[in-house]
Amino acid sequence: MVTALGRLARTLSAVVADVRGNAAFVTHEGTYRAFGGNPAKVGTRVQDVAGVDGSGLLQTIINQAKHEPGWVEYDFTNPTTGKVQTKMSYVQGVDDLYLGCGVYKNLVHAS
């Protein structure tokens, strides 16, 4: 029997994969429900990302999404370089989850 949560997780993973791995769905507790480009992150918490103020990031995402969809800027570990870099993401509340889709700023400035 397929649970509703299992169907939701597969749907979210498909949405995230469709935006080329640059998006994630996270709960208000900080647990990833989908993480583009790295399905192993599903079930982990943003607060546990090494070298990052995950609690501060989560609160920033929640505050922006509750006010209105919009941009947040934060430092996050770039999986390509392994370095903590500045990233900007567009965030939005979706039911009881938060969707973020972002880009590292050095890639924006390189264009």
What pLDDT is stored for residue 64 in this prediction? 97
DSSP element (H, E) containing 68: none
Domains and CATH numbers, the chain: 4-110 (3.30.450.20)
Residue 57 CB-density burial (10 A; 0-12 exposed, 13-18 middle, 19+ buried):
buried
- Which pLDDT tens digits describe the chain residue by residue (111 residues)? 455 555 555 555 544 444 455 789 999 999 999 988 788 999 999 999 888 899 999 999 999 999 999 999 999 888 788 888 998 999 999 989 999 998 888 776 655
What pLDDT is stored for residue 3 in this prediction? 58
Query: Phi and psi at residue 10, in whole multiples of 5°?
Result: -65, -40
- Beta strands per DSSP E along 1-111: 23-27, 32-35, 70-77, 84-94, 97-104
What pLDDT is stored for residue 19 in this prediction? 45
